[in-house]
A and B are shown apart, each in its own frame.
Chain A
Amino acid sequence: MRINHSFILTLFAALLVSCEKNSEIKVYRVSKAPLEQSGPQQQEMMPTNTAAPRMPGGLAPAVQTAVTTPPNWEPQPLSQMRQASFLVKGDNGAVADVSFVSLGSAAGNVLENVNRWLGQLGQPPITEQKLAEISQRLHTSLGDMTIVDLAGLPNNADPARDGRIVAAMMTTPDATLFFKMRGNADLTEAQKGDFLKWVAAVCDAQTQTGSSQTAAAPQPQTTGDVPPIKWTTPEGWAEVPPSSMRYASFSVPAEEGGKIDISVVTFPGDGGSDADNINRWRGQMGLAPVDANAVTSGVASLQTGDTTFSTTDIAGNKTRTIAAWTRRDGRVWFFKATGPAAAVEKEKPKFVKFIESVRF
């Protein structure tokens, strides 16, 4: 009996020591990370993959009950990310999934998300120009929503459950709101009207219930607690309406085609490290990130009146970005010009004068 025990123990010990840690491929699911890795507002948004119970700008609980949904929309259990979820059933087993997700304000721009949805439908990505052609606006009490209607069936997908996405997206200063209906193409088409009404109703209810984070309309940041600043607009720069994220926008046509996009953006806080921001801009230009030393050597100071700006000049293959930023009074201000390399080179003196003219 004792002999058997000895052998069992020997075998057990041998089995134990033959285990190798961390040698297997693991598969798991995590909450979706915002597409943009390190936006200037990262300190204010929930970070990627967090298991926090509520995302910023989340749907106020009262809103769930205040909005009437079509009778054939069956409420579904909510996940960590979803603040509203419904299943719509049609004829012949057709279904569509309706969801409302709220992420941090740096959860990618419209084009990135539309291309992600196109990827889900097995379709190739589109350009900004094409997006402008296919997208529509839906006016809500929270501001204008971008609406897209995308069709396509991925390989091996069930046409009863997939084939079309109707989505509405909006970025507020605190959150990015995604409303989405995905499912059978015919059913999604039939439900599109109800879906858009529901989107508008949710936004209205959100405003009425005074949800602290999404109630603010995505107006340009020239209102509220953002202090006004002044500058002299250089000759040839056309002011364009700022988006919800921008304090001001300018556009300069380039001789070789295209245009230079000049933006003024401000955020509370320090807006992240210089390395994060520069590497994000490099990523937007298709360039590899650089280490902290390279970032430091690529940043120069520019003294204007009582303000010191940090500046950088990033040259890509065909595009170029010049940027200046400064931190004062608990806010960070970014001034950035991006466009075709030759055109940016030509506009650089004007950009420098523009920065020198800024008065806080």
Chain B
Amino acid sequence: MAANGDSQTVSEYIVHHLTNLTYGKLPGGYERYDGTIVAEGGQWTMAHGADEITAMGFNAIHVDSMIWSVGLGLLFCWLFRRVAVRATSGVPSGLVNFVEMVVEFVDGTVKDTFHGRNPLIAPLALTIFVWVFLMNLMDLIPVDLIPHSLMLAGVEYQKIVPSTDPNITMGMAIGVFVLMLFYSIKVKGFGFVKELTLNPFNHPLFIPVNLFMEVVGLLAKPFSLGLRLFGNMYAGEMIFILIAALFSVGLFWLLPAALLQIGWAIFHILVITLQAFIFMVLTIVYLSMAHEDH
């Protein structure tokens, strides 16, 4: 930031932007940033700095990610519920039209890809598409606007794009993975075991090899799903931050940085939509594969 460029290096600026607002449990005996020692048995507190977050390990929660993610999810539910209440078979208008367009688009994608009959798939795809899109959309808000405002209000860290948090993307991917396992077992029963053990080499001798390959293939699905979204959004966010850091380099960089900012933002409109769409389509494809009996 240009405002406090004197007291903050560029790398500090970037790291600050990539640190979540975290609430967690510090282990006993840990020395905090101000030199105090955490009492025996640990202590639940707001983390101060990346080191403390690392020390908290799994017993921590990214408050900013959760608030933005749940908030955007609630926004989706509220918006679509409002339309659902008003939906009639008469002539639609305004917001209803827009929501129906989204619903029809998702429905068309589901029907193209998923050939079984499952009332869960379409609502699932709709939720994923709109929710992920909204989370990605936060990327287009200027990187300093909300974090800096909140910092002035006393909140130290703030990451407003939930999909740049691997916990968020993997949380959804794991949800999809659980559904994949559930429907694989429900639809195929014992056939699912056969699929894991007798593919691609259909011989009892090869069962360990098959099992290894199939399990790796199976586990790769949620990881590719969650990490693809995370990677894309994280990289996009990183470039926004780097461009923002350019502003503090010198007056000469103001105009190029501004142009870069606009250019990348326009390009990012495509990226965020595409990533939301890919997440949705892959979910449908994976669940479709879970339903197909070979």
The answer to whether A binds B is no
Instruction: List chain B positions with a Cβ less than 8 A from chain A.
Output: none
